[in-house]
Amino acid sequence: MIKKCLFPVAGYGTRFLPATKSMPKEMLPVVNKPLVQYGVEEAIAAGMDQMAFVTGRGKRAITDHFDISYELEHQIAGSNKESYLTSIREVLDKARFTMTRQREMKGLGHAILTGETLIGNEPFGVVLSDDLCLNNGGDSVMAQMVKLYKQFRCSIVAIQEVPADQTEKYGVIAGESLKDGLYRVDDMIEKPSPEEAPSNLAIIGRYILTPDIFDILRDTPPGKGGEIQLTDALLQQAKNGCVMAYKFEGRRFDCGSVDGFIEATNFVYENVYKAQ
């Protein structure tokens, strides 16, 4: 039912310099797979087959990753190394890829609005691939959110509880608890101080958005940090109608930070790679 997934990948990745000076942070490998491929596989597992990338300067490696490499294919065809290409071949078979460029880094909200041309007038998923979400054996986080979308037909944000001293890194919600782990949002603040934070429920990098978000974003002035904030547009959407927040099942690693990246690498090596 939701076919398209948007990947805003135009950010600078300053927290990972110098590794990200000429390489997109989304191409950093967790064990042997780039972060962005985990995100695409999660979207495919949720039934999506059109991956839309909002890229920027210096991000060509992402476009190349989701294309055929003729030299490589030719070189290893028929050899015992072919199996190393299996996972990316599967991804290329199962999905189509479109790209557009965000010319100026004006924030996540602006990146999403830039993606309108690839999405059109339909609900869509959003994956921030520096958040790696894993639910070993169970439904992928995006698949869990698609199930909820079928029930509520409104935008959904994935949340997790964070320690009070970390609210400044996230958008934070407040809302009416409908059942365990599910909230109807009535307030939302981008990167609040612990004193300002309306709760400790932080938005992580998974969303399902209804397309009215584009009109709202067009009218959203720059907010925190002078950027057009998706959080501000989502609050407006919640006021107009409904936004749900969902405490997902599974684990999330903040791979935009060095600590989260190392944690993810150790986890994937022990629980996914070695278990293959």
- Beta strands 131-134; 251-254: pairing state: antiparallel
How many C-alpha atoms does 107 have within 13 Å on its Cβ side?
A: 19
What is the closest distance, in whole angstroms, from the C-beta atom of residue 138 to ligand UTP in the complex?
A: 24
Measured from the CB atom, the residue of 8 and 223 that comes closer to ligand UTP is 8
In angstroms, give the least distance from the CB of 142 to ligand UTP.
15
- Binders of ligand UTP in range 63-92 (CB under 6 A): none
**Dist. CA 79–CA 137, nearest whole Å:** 31
From the CB of 105, what's the least distance to ligand UTP, in Å?
A: 4
**Given the complex with ligand UTP, which of 131 and 182 has the nearer CB atom?**
131
Rule CB under 6 A: choose which of 3, 12, 19, 97 binds ligand UTP: 12
Q: Which of residues 39-58 bind ligand UTP (CB under 6 A)?
A: 54
174 beta partners? 187
How deeply is 58 buried, as exposed, middle or buried, from its count of CB atoms within 10 A (0-12, 13-18, 19+)?
Answer: middle
Report the alpha-carbon distance of residue 54 to residue 100 in Å, rounded: 5
Within 10 A of 37 (CB to CB), how many other CB atoms are there? Answer: 21
Answer yes or no whether residue 175 interacts with ligand UTP by CB under 6 A: no
Query: For ligand UTP, which stretch binds (CB under 6 A), given 29-37, 69-77, 108-116, 193-201?
Result: 108-116
Residue in 136, 160, 111 with CA at minimum distance from that of residue 9: 111
By C-beta, is 64 or 82 nearer to ligand UTP?
64
Is residue 157 a contact partner of residue 209, using CB atoms and an 8 Å limit?
no
Q: In the bound complex, what is the minimum distance in angstroms from residue 78's beta carbon to ligand UTP?
A: 38
Smallest gap, in angstroms, from Cβ of residue 127 to ligand UTP?
Answer: 9
With contacts defined by CB under 6 A, how many residues of the chain interact with ligand UTP?
19
**Min CB(113)–ligand UTP separation in Å:** 10
Output the CA angle 245-24-116, nearest 5 degrees.
50
Q: By Cβ distance, which residue is nearest to ligand UTP?
A: 11
CB within 8 A of 130, min separation 6: which ones? 13, 25, 26, 35, 205, 254, 255, 256
Nearer to ligand UTP, 37 or 182 (CB): 37
Shortest Å distance, C-beta 273 to ligand UTP = 24
**19-71-31 Cα angle (round to 5):** 35
Among 2, 5, 6, 10, binds ligand UTP (CB under 6 A): 10
What is the contact surface with ligand UTP in residues (CB under 6 A)? 8-15, 54, 102, 105-108, 110-111, 128, 130, 256
